[in-house]
Chain A
């Protein structure tokens, strides 16, 4: 969905959302109150500049609008692949962004992310996946890598991966797979503004993605393994 259409559908009461390069920021009115909007557009590759700009907006919301919910609009093609970004320590910039979002959560800002176009790998990890809940539009794309590239890297036959991906949500791209694995709470269709209000009104919870993955039978091992490690007594 185009960003302009998305903003109009999400915020029928009006919004003050600006686009600077590939970075989106501003505020909007909803039935659940005023919210902050932070995100990216045009399938942004997240490099050090964008990571820093996103973090700046998160810090700004914390400083000037304590407690205001943050709606994160996700459209990223992944991290920018360049020697320069690595030289400057892009992983640190992305970690900084993740820390800013975690602090916002701790300070009582509800964090909701919506994948409205693409969500790929590192760019998704330090931004959209930091939300209390992540949602996606039906035609959005979520992935680490497409199957053809995966086949090359893992040296597994593409046909085999395609066959297995019909029954397994574990490695193939797709919003539904991320729903089954518990990372995407649900898919939004129809009245987006109503979905948003409902999400804003949900009480914030601790990270429940493993539990959801188990309930939905897409990620059956993670919940139990983490629980065993957390709670098992040691002998001797």
Chain B
């Protein structure tokens, strides 16, 4: 019964919008928004195309405290154009990261929910994502941790999938999805035999939090609960990994090993099996805690 009660009190990260994620993550009454909707810094391009625009261009940014530490925070709103990155949206993210270099902050939290580049302003979006990547790496170089949180409805795809893996720490829930090309895109271009985007189980075991955690693409796996994300983000604030030649050579060796070990695997289940996990087909059904117990010492890398 106690288990059921605590489950009922969970506040789903997956179902929350960008603003309630921020408010749930930060210490109460500490969030201060930069360029809030009332300032109406909107995309100039959507209006030209006659497409609805948003007063925050689909991303909320600001400052706040997490367990009393100063953080900068950004949350993409999947409900607006799938969190896609346009010129203004991207500049808000880049500006926030650059702000970290000017202010004494303890870390940057990126609540990523995005399909990638916004096609309505494709060139501006692509360049913006490039600027975000460069800014993330500049912040890391200053030894300020950058943390990606992924657990929203729309997942983390396209260029933002690259951004996430440039961060110090990736925190995911099982419901979160992290990849480059979305299953729908692959199916549209390459055919349903290549990737059946309507096969939800296939999509989740290929891109979802559990698989990403097992491969080492996500460092932390949490339940779909804003409080669990908050706890993990707070812990990750202490973790900053400098970009050094030794560190990147080690990362390179891990990626080479992954390719060698799993390059021939047709499905995530084959990878999990090769990792020595018994009954891999049962993994998708487990709650985060049970899952972590079942896979302890079995992760790649």
Q: Is the CB of A52 within 8 A of B256?
A: yes
Partner of B207 from A86, A95, A124, A209 at Cβ < 8 Å: A86
Convert B159-185 into 0s and 1s, putting 1 for each residue whose CB lies closer than 8 angstroms to a CB of A. Answer: 101111110000000000011110101
Q: Is the CB of B263 within 8 A of A102?
A: no
What is the distance, in angstroms, from B252's C-beta to the closest C-beta of chain A?
A: 6
**Which residues of the other chain, B, contact A39 by a CB distance below 8 angstroms?**
none
Interface presence of B17 (CB below 8 A): no
Q: Is the CB of A229 within 8 A of B252?
A: no
- Per the 8 Å Cβ criterion, residues 53-86 of A in contact with B are 55-56, 59, 62-63, 79, 81-86
Q: Is the CB of B162 within 8 A of A126?
A: yes
Partner of B126 from A59, A83, A98, A121 at Cβ < 8 Å: A121
Closest A residue to B265 by beta carbon equals: A87
Please, how many angstroms separate the alpha-carbon atoms of A170 and B102 in the complex?
30
Q: Is the CB of A107 within 8 A of B245?
A: yes
Closest A residue to B270 by beta carbon equals: A87
Please, how many angstroms separate the alpha-carbon atoms of A89 and B158 in the complex?
12
Q: With A225-B35, A229-B95 as known contacts, state yes or no: A168 contacts B48, CB within 8 Å.
A: yes
Interface segment, one of A2-10, A15-23, A176-184, A194-202: A176-184
- Per the 8 Å Cβ criterion, residues 127-160 of B in contact with A are 127-131, 133-135, 137, 141, 158-159
Please, how many angstroms separate the alpha-carbon atoms of A153 and B116 in the complex?
14
Interface presence of B248 (CB below 8 A): yes
**Which residues of the other chain, A, contact B98 by a CB distance below 8 angstroms?**
226, 229-230
Q: Is the CB of A229 within 8 A of B268?
A: no
Interface presence of A24 (CB below 8 A): no
Please, how many angstroms separate the alpha-carbon atoms of A83 and B206 in the complex?
8
Q: With A52-B252, A59-B245, A91-B165 as known contacts, state yes or no: A177 contacts B123, CB within 8 Å.
A: yes
Q: Is the CB of A81 within 8 A of B185?
A: yes
Partner of A225 from B41, B130, B137, B268 at Cβ < 8 Å: B41
Please, how many angstroms separate the alpha-carbon atoms of A55 and B253 in the complex?
11
Please, how many angstroms separate the alpha-carbon atoms of A188 and B194 in the complex?
40
Interface size class of B (residues with CB under 8 A): 35 or more
Interface presence of B255 (CB below 8 A): yes
Partner of A122 from B88, B158, B217, B251 at Cβ < 8 Å: B158
Closest B residue to A119 by beta carbon equals: B126
Q: Is the CB of B91 within 8 A of A222?
A: yes
Interface presence of A164 (CB below 8 A): yes
Q: Is the CB of A79 within 8 A of B252?
A: no
**Which residues of the other chain, A, contact B234 by a CB distance below 8 angstroms?**
none
What is the distance, in angstroms, from B164's C-beta to the closest C-beta of chain A?
A: 7
Q: Is the CB of B162 within 8 A of A98?
A: yes
Interface presence of A49 (CB below 8 A): yes
Please, how many angstroms separate the alpha-carbon atoms of A210 and B32 in the complex?
26
What is the distance, in angstroms, from A231's C-beta to the closest C-beta of chain B?
A: 8
Interface presence of A219 (CB below 8 A): yes
Interface presence of A138 (CB below 8 A): no
**Which residues of the other chain, A, contact B266 by a CB distance below 8 angstroms?**
84
Please, how many angstroms separate the alpha-carbon atoms of A223 and B41 in the complex?
13
Residues in chain B within 8 A of chain A (CB atoms): 32, 34-35, 41, 43-45, 48-49, 51, 61, 63, 87-88, 90-92, 94-96, 98-99, 102, 117, 119-131, 133-135, 137, 141, 158-159, 161-166, 178-181, 183, 185-186, 189-190, 194-195, 206-207, 211-212, 215, 217, 243-245, 248-249, 251-252, 255-256, 258-259, 262-263, 265-268, 271
For the A-B complex with A48-B255, A62-B245, A87-B265 known, give 18 more contacts whose Cβ atoms are closer than 8 Å.
A48-B263, A52-B255, A55-B255, A81-B194, A83-B206, A86-B181, A88-B263, A91-B162, A96-B251, A130-B130, A144-B126, A154-B51, A182-B127, A207-B135, A209-B127, A219-B87, A226-B95, A232-B35
